[in-house]
């Protein structure tokens, strides 16, 4: 009996030592090195500022950090306003780290108020001028998609006339973008009730009328949860015209898991349909500082585990 008790005590002690060794920083680092860097199933694309507590403001440092965390894409709404040398640094870093460039905004000023619905020559000319500049921007970062917002609803015109005006101008823009293999993605929004484009079926009809590979839909799931709901069904309806997705939970427009939306199921559904493009992380962080940045990464790890 005594020998048996001694044997059991020794076994417990040995097990405790093994557990302690396994949980030591050195052992954890060894396991991490063995398993390699994190690999997400999908191309989630952060934007500048999401990890600034740990990276500072330098764009190259931010991109390097994103890549080190396992992100394989990136998007930057304000890219066109950045100096050319910064755009070139972004492009070089993305190429070096094997990251896909997501959307930037084709923006000729106040993008929401520059309304293509009016049919006015001043808005048409400015839009087409910006499309030409966007082609040069896209080349520097190897971009394939650029966001377009048609602007405000024009209350002086019937909705059908507004829609026709938008279609005509987008057709002209598509002719500029097609040779560069750059696709404008129309984004229905929920921010302001004065905006013309608000639902995916409306965007679908416009894309079908423009009839160009350079005019498709950006389906921002945060905005569409607010404006139309029943997201899976609407994605299926508009599938042939969707070229890009953006992420944001509702309410709050923060990372997945902070609101009412089941992003694990949404990612599984979209991936299952064969989509291999970018999911732009078009949202804020739910918590400040490093804690919030870590929570954001953890949220994508959880949502990616489908």
pLDDT by residue (tens digit) across 280-292? 999 999 999 999 9
* pLDDT of res. 205: 98
Mean pLDDT of 154-175: 97
pLDDT in tens, 85-105: 999 999 999 999 999 999 999
Alpha-carbon separation of residue 103 from 13, 20, 275 (angstroms): 57, 47, 16
What residues does 217 pair with on adjacent strands?
186, 242
For residue 117, the tally of other CB atoms under 10 A from its CB is 25
Q: Which pLDDT value is given to residue 2?
A: 43
Q: Residue 243 in 3-state DSSP?
A: strand
Query: In terms of DSSP bridges, do strands 100-101 and 104-105 run parallel, antiparallel, or are they unpaired?
Result: unpaired
| Choice between 165 and 17, residue whose per-residue pLDDT is larger | 165
240-270: per-residue pLDDT in tens?
A: 999 999 999 999 999 999 999 999 999 999 9
Which has the closest alpha carbon to 246: 77, 90, 99?
77
Name 43's bridge partners.
Answer: 278
**DSSP one-letter code for 81:** G
Mean pLDDT to the nearest integer, 199-216: 98
Q: What would the mean pLDDT of 27-36 be, rounded to a whole number?
A: 41
Nearest-angstrom CA–CA distance, 133 and 117: 22
Mean pLDDT value of segment 75-94: 97
pLDDT in tens, 166-183: 999 999 999 999 999 999
Domain ranges (residues) in the chain: 1-36, 39-303
Grade residue 107 by pLDDT with cuts at 50, 70 and 90: confident
pLDDT of 282: 97
Residue with the two structure tokens 């013309």:
196
β partners of residue 185: 147, 216
Given the candidates 1.10.3720.10, 3.40.30.10, 3.20.20.150, 3.10.129.10, the CATH classification of the domain at 39-303 is: 3.20.20.150
d(CA 17, CA 256): 39
DSSP 149-166: ---B--TTS-HHHHHHHH
> What is the mean predicted confidence (pLDDT) over 211-223?
98
Q: Per DSSP, which regions of 84-234 are E strands?
A: 100-101, 104-105, 145-148, 183-186, 215-220
Residues of the chain above pLDDT 90, percent? 84
Instruction: Name the more confident of 275 and 14.
Output: 275
The whole-angstrom separation of Cα 65 and Cα 102 is 17
pLDDT value at position 239?
98
Identify the CA nearest to 124 among candidates 155, 170, 176.
170
């Amino acid at each position: 009996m005594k020998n048996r008790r001694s044997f059991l005590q020794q076994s417990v002690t040995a097990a405790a030592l093994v557990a302690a060794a396994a949980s030591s920083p050195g052992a954890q680092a060894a396991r991490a090195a063995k398993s390699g860097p994190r690999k997400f199933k999908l191309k989630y694309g952060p934007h500048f500022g999401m990890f600034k507590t740990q990276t500072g403001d330098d764009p190259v440092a931010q991109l390097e950090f994103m890549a080190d965390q396992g992100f394989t894409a990136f998007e930057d709404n304000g890219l066109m306003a950045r100096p050319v040398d910064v755009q070139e640094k972004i492009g070089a870093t993305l190429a070096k780290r094997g990251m896909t460039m997501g959307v930037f905004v084709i923006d000729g000023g106040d993008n929401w108020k520059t309304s293509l619905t009016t049919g006015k020559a001043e808005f048409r000319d400015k839009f087409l001028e910006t499309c030409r500049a966007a082609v040069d921007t896209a080349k520097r970062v190897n971009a394939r998609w650029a966001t377009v917002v048609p602007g405000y609803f024009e209350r002086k015109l019937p909705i059908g006339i507004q829609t026709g005006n938008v279609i005509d101008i987008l057709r002209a823009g598509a002719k500029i973008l097609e040779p560069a293999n750059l696709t404008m993605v129309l984004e229905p929004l929920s921010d302001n009730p004065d905006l013309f484009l608000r639902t995916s079926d409306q965007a679908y009809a416009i894309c079908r009328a423009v009839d160009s590979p350079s005019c498709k839909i950006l389906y921002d799931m945060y905005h569409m949860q607010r404006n139309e709901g029943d997201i899976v069904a609407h994605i299926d309806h508009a599938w042939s015209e969707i070229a890009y997705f953006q992420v944001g939970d509702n309410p709050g427009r923060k990372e997945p898991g902070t609101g009412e939306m089941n992003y694990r199921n949404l990612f599984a559904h979209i991936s299952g349909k064969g989509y291999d493009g970018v999911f732009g992380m078009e949202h804020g962080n739910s918590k400040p500082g490093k804690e919030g940045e870590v929570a954001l990464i953890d949220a994508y790890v959880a949502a990616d585990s489908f």
